[in-house]
Amino acid sequence: MTSAPAVEVSALRKAYGEKRAVDGLDLVVDQGEILAVLGPNGAGKTTTVEILEGFRQRDSGEVRVLGQDPATAGRAWRSRLGVVLQTTNDLAEATVGEVVHHFAQYYPGARDADEVIDAVGLREKVGTRTRQLSGGQRRRLDVALGIVGRPELVFLDEPTTGFDPEARRSFWDLITGLREDGATILLTTHYLEEAEHLADRVVVVNAGKVVAQGAPADLGGRTARQALVRWTAADGPREVRTDAPTAVVRELADTYGEVPGLQVLRPTLEDVYLSLIEGSSTDPADRDLPTTEDVR
């Protein structure tokens, strides 16, 4: 990348009374990148994203989004952003078609509203009032409103909550297409498969700070961690953890020829993520983590 980053954050801090929601967070998002932000409830993800969007004031720190400070940027800057919040419940009496077509008029160079409705899978609901949509359908409408303006930078806060697996994968294709069109994507999600599938880079936030970052395959030294080799011996299942799985497999092959039940397992992204946030709070009242009802 030769151009300036889409997002630059240095020493960001935000407290609510005695609680430090964001505590010296540093973050860079390159233009054209899909960045996934992961973290437990209370990590500070939502507060950070709301500061970047210009919805919340920071206590201290330096923030530049598309070259401007969100705290003072104006309407022209906002038209370059697409925002999908965790929850919205407005425009209850308007139909899907009316809402998307209406919002498209706010933006110069907006995407075709009907194409956006098709892209998020709401064609059959185009004449349905928003209050009659299911939770997942309402989420798709939120996504439609976030991308209809053809934004340069898209903030997606838990965008596929309520999607069924087929709809989620269709949405992934949509996000990949946005990036191919030149958009930068900042995604917060609790679906680690989603982060692994979409993200060029993953940032793990805990206690208001970045504790790890890297490509999904390399996060937290994932590729360097010990592998687990499993096989079935004459007396039952066996397994060994090793830094040299190829050597173990070679020894097993010398012994067995075709090794029965052979598996070589590397740590998953979930394994690494959980090790990075071990000991964090899991209070379901915290807004950074959806409750069971939210994700149904």
User: In whole angstroms, how far apart are CA 194 and each of 141, 144, 191, 248?
Assistant: 19, 19, 5, 33
Predicted confidence band at 283 (pLDDT cuts at 50, 70, 90)? very low
Cα–Cα distance measured from residue 218 to residue 55, given in angstroms and rounded to the nearest whole number: 33
- Averaged pLDDT for residues 86-109: 88
Q: Are 215 and 198 in contact (CB under 8 A)?
A: no
Predicted confidence band at 14 (pLDDT cuts at 50, 70, 90)? very high
Indicate the average pLDDT of the chain. Answer: 85
CA dihedral (17, 52, 158, 274) in degrees, to 10, reads -70
Q: Which long-range contacts (CB under 8 A, 24 or more apart) does 106-110 make?
A: 106/79, 106/149, 107/79, 107/148, 107/149, 107/150, 108/79, 109/150, 110/148, 110/149, 110/150
Residue type, 232: T
What residues contact 161, with CB distance under 8 A and at least 6 apart? 86, 135, 139, 290, 294, 295
Q: Which residues pair with 7 in a beta bridge?
A: 29, 65
Q: Which long-range contacts (CB under 8 A, 24 or more apart) does 67-73 make?
A: 67/4
What residues contact 179, with CB distance under 8 A and at least 6 apart? 32, 33, 34, 185
The model scores a pTM over 0.85: no
pLDDT at residue 6 is higher than 70: yes
pLDDT in tens, 126-149: 999 999 998 778 888 988 999 999
Q: What distance, in Å, lies between the first and last C-alpha atoms of the chain?
A: 39
- Averaged pLDDT for residues 29-43: 92
pLDDT in tens, 155-208: 998 888 777 788 788 888 888 888 888 899 999 988 888 998 999 999 999 999
